[in-house]
Amino acid sequence: MHWADFAARKLSEREGPQVVVSGITPSGEFHIGHLREILSAEMIHRACLDFGLESRYVFIVDSMDPLRRVYDFLSPSYESYIGVPLANIPAPGDDGEPNPEGGSYAEFFLRPFLEALKQIGVEPEVIMNHETYQNGEFAEMIDLAITNREEINGIIESVSGRELPEDWFPYSPIGSNGSLDGVKVTGYDRPFVHWIDGQGVEGKSDIRLAEGKMPWRIDWAARWAIHGVTCEPAGKDHGAAGGSYDTGIPICKLLGGNPPEKMVYEWIQLKGMGPMSSSSGVTIGPMEALSIVPPEILRYVIARSKMNRHIEFDTGAMMFLTADEYERLVSNPPNEEEGMSKRKRISVETRRGAMRLSQVSRDSDPSDSVGGVSFRHLSMLAQIKSDDDSVWSSLRRSGHLSDEPGTSLRSRLEKMRSWIGGDHFPEGSRIVIQSEVGEEARSQIDEESRSFLELLARRLESCNWDEDSISETVRSSASDSGLSNRQAYVSLYLVILGRDYGPRISSLMAEMDRDSLIGVVSNI
């Protein structure tokens, strides 16, 4: 059983509708690592629907979280906004300066991220946390937390193993300068929390409004109770022993909620660079990733991996291998067979689930995402054909395309061109057709190979110009020259590409002009 289906089956044991949640703090540009939590939650939500459960997928934005530092992309002017909730800060302009006309800081970074999510079939119900505070939904939770302050203090200290300061309070008011920092609570008279801030200004915050917030560990537990959350995957930092998940469960119960079961996922690592982190700069943005990776392949990377295993994300050579794996499953869907072992049955169900959950649209046909053209073949065409119409003409000639290309195929070609034109494309996969045989390549071609190439050049003059005919001509010429197929292919790669490897040789040759190819092959 796929991990998302297993989670859905477990959730079916809980009464009532399922509320599957993920969240994010919109403090800056997001990275692809955030998609593990989001897609894990969204896939569990889909699995719940497939299981016949009533389910909602909710995306909670931590818009009440404060700005913690002036990031590199911000001007020094933002120093005055340290500690201010992100919903109350103006968005940065192109020069990094605060731009009051650009909306809030939180919305500025959230909007493009939500647009990116749509491209991979994720359209959640979005909840801005500052609005939940503003409309009073946190008020009862805040009052309960203050009333049970000592007990919550004990939970955090005993579970996390860290000692809280004597003046710790389960609610942080906003001071006179709009910041949560440096504000000391002096009393509580429901619904008001009284305080004095770092400037010596005294005031009070109404818990029924967004005039303060609870610390993260309590805020998270309160959300579970407020929204009826039944499932929320969390990264291993929050899920570690003594982490916020372990303190959140008993706090949620204390606040009258029924917490979700602990569910922890491993991080995504950028190949060769370790876990992705906004603060360390080890990132690739979701918009950047989606400009080069087909959405179903991106979903497949998450769907095929168990949550407790890290994912090494690679936008280089590994993309070909991942696409090959995906396309094999599309062309040969796994099926159970009589007498199959339990282990193989589990493997079949897991792969079926991965394919089902990899689709951008729920219940769509996986073959539609491939469009009849392999990732590798499209990569070759995108490199040797300068315009899209030439690619479509080639696909029609080879029988890959019978009509106009669909939206999915057009999108795949667009992403392929972006990938090829960017820094992520592996240099070893670049195709540069040689106009003449270079000296280095010529030195690697022995007499047997020369004889093969001379014979092949003559036979190509009368060969039907399609992949199958060319392939047969290459094989027969190699055989008649006493050369192995491998030796024949290597010599052709050296002549055509100037190196001893490349894409399927007959596919490449079929896309080339006959006379030009014969001229190069015979000129050895």
Does the pLDDT at position 69 exceed 60?
Answer: yes
pLDDT tens, position by position, 365-395: 998 888 889 999 999 999 999 999 999 999 9
Q: Name the residue with tokens 């190699």.
A: 478
Does the pLDDT at position 300 exceed 90?
Answer: yes
Cα(367)–Cα(373) distance, rounded to whole angstroms? 10
pLDDT tens, position by position, 457-485: 999 999 999 999 999 999 999 999 999 99
Q: Name the residue with tokens 């494309």.
A: 425
Cα(292)–Cα(286) distance, rounded to whole angstroms? 10
CA distances from 151 to 141, 146, 147, 243, 254 (A): 14, 10, 9, 17, 9
Six token digits for residue 405:
């290309």
Say if residues 319 and 429 touch (Cβ distance below 8 Å).
no
End-to-end CA distance of the chain: 58
Six token digits for residue 40:
């894990």
What's the whole-number mean pLDDT along residues 405-431?
92
Q: Name the residue with tokens 């089956």.
A: 9
Residues in Cβ contact with 114 at an 8 Å cutoff, skipping those fewer than 6 apart = 126
Q: Tell which residue, 497, 225, 479, has the closest CA to residue 488.
A: 479
pLDDT tens, position by position, 15-27: 889 999 999 999 9
pLDDT bracket for residue 98 (50, 70, 90): very high
pLDDT tens, position by position, 350-373: 999 999 999 999 989 998 888 889
pLDDT tens, position by position, 317-333: 899 999 999 999 999 99
Residue 468 has phi, psi (to 5 degrees) of -65, -45
Does the pLDDT at position 273 exceed 50?
Answer: no
What's the whole-number mean pLDDT along residues 108-137?
95
CA distances from 300 to 312, 333, 366 (A): 13, 15, 11
Looking at residue 289, its pLDDT comes to 82
Looking at residue 283, its pLDDT comes to 53
Say if residues 107 and 85 touch (Cβ distance below 8 Å).
no
Q: Name the residue with tokens 């109350």.
A: 88
pLDDT bracket for residue 437 (50, 70, 90): confident
Does the pLDDT at position 142 exceed 50?
Answer: yes
Q: How many CA atoms lie within 13 A of 225 on its CB side?
A: 23
- The pLDDT > 90 percentage for the chain reads 77
Residues in Cβ contact with 123 at an 8 Å cutoff, skipping those fewer than 6 apart = 117
**CA dihedral in degrees (302, 306, 312, 313; nearest 10)?**
0
- What length does the chain have? 524
CB atoms near residue 260 (< 10 Å) = 24
pLDDT bracket for residue 279 (50, 70, 90): very low
pLDDT tens, position by position, 25-55: 999 877 777 889 999 999 999 999 999 999 9
**CA dihedral in degrees (340, 341, 346, 351; nearest 10)?**
-40
The enclosing H or E element of 264 equals strand 264-265
3-class DSSP assignment, residue 393: helix
Cα(98)–Cα(92) distance, rounded to whole angstroms? 5
Q: How many CA atoms lie within 13 A of 290 on its CB side?
A: 21
CA 324 vs. chain centroid, Å, equals: 19
CA distances from 184 to 159, 169, 470 (A): 25, 9, 81
pLDDT bracket for residue 278 (50, 70, 90): very low
95-99, 249-253, 343-347, 486-490: least confidently modelled range? 343-347
Residues in Cβ contact with 174 at an 8 Å cutoff, skipping those fewer than 6 apart = 85, 180, 183, 205, 211, 212
Looking at residue 272, its pLDDT comes to 52
Rg of the chain over all Cα atoms, to the nearest angstrom: 30
Does the pLDDT at position 343 exceed 50?
Answer: yes
Q: Name the residue with tokens 């497939």.
A: 50
Looking at residue 282, its pLDDT comes to 42
Residue range 439-522 forms a domain whose CATH class is mainly alpha
Cα(165)–Cα(173) distance, rounded to whole angstroms? 17
pLDDT bracket for residue 341 (50, 70, 90): confident
DSSP-based helix, strand, coil % in the chain, nearest 5: 50, 15, 40
Does the pLDDT at position 198 exceed 70?
Answer: yes
**CA dihedral in degrees (334, 339, 344, 348; nearest 10)?**
20
CA 48 vs. chain centroid, Å, equals: 21
